[in-house]
A and B are shown apart, each in its own frame.
Chain A
Amino acid sequence: MAVAMRVLAILLCLLALPSLLALPSLAADPPNPPPAKAGTTCIDAPAVMRRDHPGMLMHQRDDTLRLGIRGGKASLKDCVACHATTAADGTPVPVNAPGQFCQACHAYAAVQPDCFECHATTPPLKTAGGAP
């Protein structure tokens, strides 16, 4: 009886195998975010940025807000400044719009960052306001 159960289990496993092998083909295509603004250099190598950008931003935000340290290496404002694209009519496209720099990878990785519930998603317009 025990032998029959074991055979049944192996058979079930064998049946499940093709569907398991087929899973990667069901996954979405790798993200293809738009390139950064021409002539700009990122603060670190792409491999480092991919892995470490949440930590960098998390660390910098406390330094900037609580201690008042400006001009730090990592800055969400600077990310947006280089990585936001512009539409055909010249208006900036939010970085968290589908397919844009931030959203392309976060959608692929099923991550929902809440940065942009508060932070600006487009670079400042040069004509707006009188702020520095």
Chain B
Amino acid sequence: MTEISRRQVVLASGAVLVVAASAAAAAPRGQGQPASATRHWGLLIDTAKCDDGCTVCVKACKAEMGLAGHDRPATDPQYVRKLTVTDPATGHRHSLPVMCQHCDKPACVDVCPTGASMKRADGIVLVDRHICIGCRYCMMACPYKARSFAHEEQTGQKPYLPRGKGTVEGCTLCVHRIDAGGEPVCVEACAAKAKGAMLFGDLKDPDSAIAQRVAKEATTRIRADLGLLPSVRYQGI
């Protein structure tokens, strides 16, 4: 009845190979191994799937990172925020999440006087709070408004995200999850509770879903004219 043709067997073995390749890409780095420049983590955000008013990613980020605000939107920490932009000519509106764009040539790293703002070998831009003096030059330099400053004494931090008064902070691309073989919490939450507008992966791995889509489909970076080469790409803006 269900005789499997040679063609089906060949196709199935191909599928197994694809699954094996994607699993290898997401495998956690070995213990004691430094982050490698053979990988470059990035995000692809499809704004067509991002609903105006949906804040699933923002809420998931705040819960994961233990970000408690003081009901002061201007200064409360935010690693990811939702923007709604309107084309004045046509009235077309769309919504998009904006977080640290993890630039390949980050302005925040250029201006940091102590070396606290840094880019890891795999492209993740972080703040080394051990040597951050809280001058906030990086906040002024960042064209994406991606960084926040901890104005208050902090309590109840998550063990994987130390954060304290007087230091600058921003999206870490959930580096603690990536190093354990996972993906950022915003991506996970968007896929689970919203429309799955975000795709995370290794841009340097030609077999990864993100690299293949970036190679085939038109994507844009916000303020690409600045030449900072963000690792976060958008579609539909």
Chain A positions near chain B (C-beta within 8 angstroms): 61-63, 65-72, 77, 80, 117-120, 123-124, 129-132
Contact = CB atoms under 8 A, between A and B. Distances in A.
Contact of B121 (A68, A71, A80, A123): A68
A124 B159 contact: yes
A132 B35 contact: no
Interface residues of B, number: 36
Given A118-B154, A131-B64, A68 B177 contact: no
Nearest to B163: A118
B159 A65 contact: no
B159 A120 contact: yes
Q: Report whether over half of chain B's contact residues are helix, strand or loop; otherwise say mixed.
A: loop
Given A65-B128, A65-B130, A67-B35, A129 B120 contact: no
Contacts of A67: 34-35, 120-121
B121 A131 contact: no
Contacts, number: 74
A118 B152 CA distance: 11
Given A117-B164, A132-B177, A132-B180, A68 B159 contact: no
A10 B185 CA distance: 74
B172 to A, nearest CB: 10
A63 B31 CA distance: 12
Contact of B162 (A68, A70, A71, A120): A120
Contacts of B120: 66-68
A120 B154 CA distance: 10
